[in-house]
Amino acid sequence: MSAISFTLTRTMLLSTPTLLLVVALMQPALSSNLNSLHGIAFISVTTDNLTASTQFYTQVLGGMLVPELSFTFSGDSHYYRMFQKEILDARTQGVNPAQLGIPDIGDNGTHEVRGNFIIFDNGIIQLVEYVLRSSSSDIVFDIRDRRTSPCYIAAPHICFWVKDDVDFNHYIAELERKSHGLGFHQVKVNRPVTVHNEAERLAVPENQLGITFSNGDFAGLSFAYFKGPRGEQLELYQIQNQSRYHLGSDYCRRRGVATAFLDKHPDNRWKKAAGVSGQLYGMFQFGTRTDDLSKSVNFYTQVLGSELVHKPLQAVNVRGDDVENMLFQKEILDALSWGTEPRDIGVANVSLAGSDRLDHRFNLFDNYVVETLLYTAGKSLSDPKFNPRYNWSSPAYINNMHVAFLIDDNVDLNNFLHDTELKATRNKFPEFKVNRAVDVPRLGASVPLPQYSAAFTDGPLKGFNYVFAKGPAGEQLSFVQFKGPAAAKLKSALVRYSAVSTAFKETNPWARKEYDKFCSKYPSNPVIG
């Protein structure tokens, strides 16, 4: 049993109130499908090479490009909706917005936004790049931070869900092999053992590439951390045995959708073409680093309507040498090569000899979770927090990501945004302010409702609408809506891939009672047909 699994077992068993767990399991099934927020629409990744990133997420991970939704756009409305917070920061500081990572995508600006949508089983990856405005230009607005530690506040990551019938360690080996064969040499999965160079990393035997918990509260969970083809932070989960059972109860209670809980779900041609590395159930989580775990959980549950995944699937006092290596091996090697201390580039010490700890919570939406993570500079939660921060917040930084929440197409998006701000204020999140589609003197300034957002009226995204905001720890969020032609294209793509979503009856297995058999194993949580 690994060091981390022992720590989790001992801590969680002592901190889990059995009575509360039983009471929680007896609560009636809830359905966010009746609400206006349909879970997570997509995770957006800023790239410096749209073509290469698209190739990785399709040919390596088995996603499907939706060419009918590929886009190019610019204009003042987009400039303010994406970057309003940063634009106002630049004015306050008296600097050119470009110095704060803001490409000028305004009406008379120099840059435009280009992007693709990639479909997976239960979610979508949106890839975006900011390029010079020219029909033939491929010069990217390239601004980045060499510090890549996932400990930085608001640092994001995407976790992909590996299928049950795949050997997890072999999956990691095949992911690297396939990636490197296509020229994605930056795709290097961290190892759970200490290495000092690339040769030692490559020499680790295949059966030791990931971390798998065989005992304790997380029994059956395997995970691994790695960087994507352009340096974005990615993660792998495989969820079996006890962990799968507990997670399944939360999905049934939520009436959430995941192909992991469907019998004989088709293995489509895109997954087959990718080979072993395409054997995924889609996404398990969007992870974001918070400076206040309780506050972030309250925001996602009380304001946006997620449900906290029940114990024992709440990580408490995560520590261990294997975890230290798996989370930070790339950054530890960076520090060695740069001649600096790992802590100086945002690396916590959660080794057994270290003085830090990691805690996280899963906030379940309709299709997967937002994971909120907290690092403490001490072994008690009452100790000071380890909260390194970037000095930038622009979504245009290369490898930055944000989570986009899907709003029902029968809801007026501008009313929803206005009401969500008010709800956030009532729930003591006054800092939550949605960007406006027009210039304003201060963040969150009062404007007429039609100036919150503006749907596309032509082009491939006709009927699509969006607006950006920052979460309670400064993490990038957006709220999006697909209507009209955009909704028809999205539904068609989801059906083509055999994806699942609560947004459409045709893609929602609950509408066909396809989870009844799976959820019948949870007698304290009867399925509502």
The tens digit of pLDDT for each residue in 31-79 reads 333 468 889 999 999 999 999 999 999 999 999 999 999 999 999 999 9
Question: In a 3-state reduction of DSSP, which class is residue 329?
Answer: helix
DSSP percent split of the chain into helix, strand, coil, nearest 5: 35, 20, 45
pLDDT at residue 27, rounded to an integer: 36
CA 22, 25, 28: angle at the middle one, nearest 5? Answer: 135
pLDDT tens profile 152-206: 999 999 999 999 999 999 999 999 999 999 999 999 999 999 999 999 999 999 9
pLDDT at residue 308, rounded to an integer: 96
In DSSP notation, 221-252 reads EEEEEEE-TTS-EEEEEEE-HHHHHHHHHHHH
The residues near 98 (Cβ < 8 Å, ≥ 6 apart) are 104
pLDDT at residue 38, rounded to an integer: 84
Q: What is the dihedral of CA 164, 366, 295, 44, to 10 degrees?
A: 80
Q: Which residues of the chain fall short of a pLDDT of 50?
A: 1-34, 525-529
Cα 349 from Cα 341, distance rounded (Å): 11
What is the number of residues in the chain?
Answer: 529
Domain borders along the chain are 3-518
- CB 341 within 8 Å of CB 350: no
pLDDT at residue 179, rounded to an integer: 98
Diameter over CA atoms, the chain: 63
Rg of the chain over CA atoms, in angstroms? 22
- CB 436 within 8 Å of CB 452: yes
Cα 258 from Cα 2, distance rounded (Å): 29
In DSSP notation, 25-89 reads HTSPP--GGGSSEEEEEEEEEE-S-HHHHHHIIIIIT--EE-GGG-EEE--HHHHHHHHHHHHHH
pLDDT at residue 35, rounded to an integer: 67
pTM higher than the cut 0.75: yes
Question: In a 3-state reduction of DSSP, which class is residue 350?
Answer: coil
Cα 278 from Cα 272, distance rounded (Å): 7
